[in-house]
A and B are shown apart, each in its own frame.
Chain A
Amino acid sequence: MDFDLTDEQQMFQKLARDFADREIEPVAEQIELEDRIPEDMLAKMARVGLLGVTAPEDYGGLQMGFLTLVLVLEQIHYPCTPCTWLLAGNELAEVLEAAGTREQKDEFLPDVVEGKSLPGGVFTEAATGSYEDMITTTAKLENGRWILNGTKRFHTFGNVDGPAIIFARTGEKKTSAIIVPKNIEGYTSSKPWGLMGLRGLETVDTFIRNVSVPEGYLLGEKDGGLDILFKVTAGGRLRQAILSVACGQRALDEAVSYARERTTSRGPISKMQGIRWQFAEMASRIEASRWLTYRMSFLREQGKAVRSESAMAKLFAGQAAEWVASEALKIHGAYGYTTEYKIERVHRAALAQELIEGTNEIQKSIVGAAVVQD
């Protein structure tokens, strides 16, 4: 078994780490306070190629594997900011690779890789949440065009120009995925939801009223939307898992540097056995999460479906990050509860991954079914 990363993977990892240190970390507090990502962030990411890590070279991408993307995400999310979500171009590339036509890639991918447009994708509705059969948005084919109607919920960057993948009903219990350029006629968005953490992430409700797009904007087969959804959510789950790893690592690092400095009459608290044992627990869970996620990402890169495996990684890493962040906060004592220290922001960020792309319970149901095999 060879666990070594390739030279290229290590170089991408370093590039992402240096980018996060240089461009994201210094503005992390500002993003939080202003509830806004700086406007030039997307262009900066595009310049170093972070928006097209997995996109094919023909479309300006770098055509690296899924594991490389995961390594990049881990570093980019270390500051625990919503900037990580700007890497959504990689997600679109993946969906188009799985189900897109050449024309769709030609039309949408180059702009996304260059940071000229920011893609979105929305399945969620007020009633769907964990239940895909509750979807109510409809798409009807009329005179060679899809006419869409409905309201979507929690659509990240649903208000920013770029292509969105909208899941809509195309028949009784039938769902299709259709590309809709955001902000065209009939497409409007609410103001962003106020979020507990990851402030600056623009997650909106999207109102779709007689939105009309060409027939060729259908992704994959008609009525094949759920197949696409299930195919891409495995990747989505691994992306969330690695964000958990990043949050956990950051929380631990914050706690260690605090413990080294917090001195009592018996010296720094980092010298105390109780604190060290806690660090040992935290570090062990993070390391286990990291390698579980790397391994599943590697398998995905090899073309394996990793449906339950990705759910396992997301569940374990998400729970680990939440626990680690919470313990790290407590190690800060009362200071942990103040906004003077970074740990409270890291803690809030760490909770997101247990909800996005399916809650823990949904992951457990997937893993449980795979274990019992009934």
Chain B
Amino acid sequence: MNIIVCIKQILDPEIPPAKFKVDTVAKKVVCPEGIPLVVSPYDEQAVEAALRIKESRSDAKLTALTLGGAGAKDAIKHVLSMGVDEGIIVNDDAFEGSDAFGTAYILSKAIEKLGDYGLVLCGRQAADWDAGQVGPVLAEYLGIPVVTVAKEVAAVDGKVTVKQVLADGYRVLHMAMPALVTVSSEIGQARLPSGKGIVMAARKQVTVWSSQDLGCDPGRIGSGAARAELAELFVPSQDRKSEIITGKDVAEAAGNLAGVLRREGAI
């Protein structure tokens, strides 16, 4: 059974806030120099889910798929070193500026080109924009069922069983294959790569497909096709104020505090 995991390379969410800059005119995040991009943590957890399935059934073959530019190879090599079997990059200048729908369309074309698959896994959302749209839209384009925000995924007897996280617990859902699942952090920490994985990854060829290879409809990709428009991009400024609340005794001070909190809309 082929399992496809979609991964995205993002700016490391752990960088110190002082290093995070945006270009408000170009409406883009500025990548700080010398800080390598990382695989979005939810996507790493999707890889972890895939690896656990692979451990439970010997016929599972894992393919990682990423839409990305020059650094995408690092993302693919990283997941190969975790134990993924194959990596594919889709890259083309024409993809530049695609929104979630464009991205999902491009990924769907790549998955169709790959052909036979039982399961597609994505992170619940990319940890940069946190939109969480690509997974469900991709399922729509592929015409397959989707369950979002999973904490456990199993694939047995042609059926996918998913524990889906709810606000107050989880529920168990079954789907026929092929299906798509978006994986949440509740699945637990993704494993580290292994030295052997690194050595193997270095020996593997990574396939790169262009828009033409995929037969993409130019009207559905790139900034021209984007349905969402980014109106403004800025780092919100945080103002800190301090106010010392007093009163003739503790009870009055507490009363004054409550008054201030009410005035500020905090309670």
Contact = CB atoms under 8 A, between A and B. Distances in A.
Interface of A: 7-8, 11-12, 15, 18-19, 22, 47-50, 52-53, 62-64
Contacts of A15: 81, 192-195, 198
A19 B192 CA distance: 7
Nearest to B200: A62
Contacts of B201: 11
Given A7-B74, A11-B77, 17 more contacts: A7-B77, A7-B202, A8-B198, A8-B199, A8-B202, A11-B193, A15-B198, A18-B192, A22-B192, A48-B192, A48-B193, A48-B195, A49-B194, A49-B195, A49-B198, A53-B195, A64-B199
Contacts of B78: 11
Given A7-B202, A11-B81, A11-B201, A49 B196 contact: yes
Contacts of B81: 11, 15
Nearest to B78: A11
State the majority secondary structure of interface residues on B.
Answer: helix
Nearest to A49: B195
A19 B81 CA distance: 14
Interface in B128-149: none
Interface residues of B, number: 14
Contacts, number: 43
Q: Which of B189, B198, B201 has the most CB of A within 10 A?
A: B198
Nearest to A63: B199
B195 A12 contact: yes
Given A7-B202, A11-B201, A62 B196 contact: yes
Contacts of A19: 192
Interface of B: 74, 77-78, 81, 189, 192-196, 198-199, 201-202
Nearest to A51: B195
A48 B202 contact: no
Nearest to B80: A11
Nearest 6 interchain pairs by C-beta: A49-B195, A11-B198, A62-B195, A48-B194, A8-B202, A49-B194
B41 to A, nearest CB: 13
Nearest to A47: B194
Contacts of A11: 77-78, 81, 193, 198, 201
Contacts of B196: 49, 62
A20 to B, nearest CB: 11
A19 B195 CA distance: 11
5 contacts: A19-B192, A22-B189, A48-B192, A53-B195, A64-B195
A62 B200 CA distance: 10
Contacts of A12: 195, 198
Contacts of A48: 192-195
Contacts of A63: 199
Nearest to A8: B202
A196 B121 CA distance: 51
Nearest to A72: B195
A11 B39 CA distance: 14
Contacts of A18: 192
Nearest to B197: A49
A50 B195 CA distance: 7
Nearest to A61: B195
A63 B202 CA distance: 13
Contacts of B193: 11, 15, 48
B193 to A, nearest CB: 5
A9 B181 CA distance: 34
Nearest to B196: A49
A47 B81 CA distance: 13
Nearest to B74: A7
Contacts of B195: 12, 15, 48-50, 52-53, 62, 64
A12 B193 CA distance: 9
A55 B112 CA distance: 42
Nearest to A21: B192
Nearest to B201: A11
Q: Which of A11, A12, A22 has the most CB of B within 10 A?
A: A11
A240 B192 CA distance: 26
A267 B47 CA distance: 46
B248 to A, nearest CB: 31
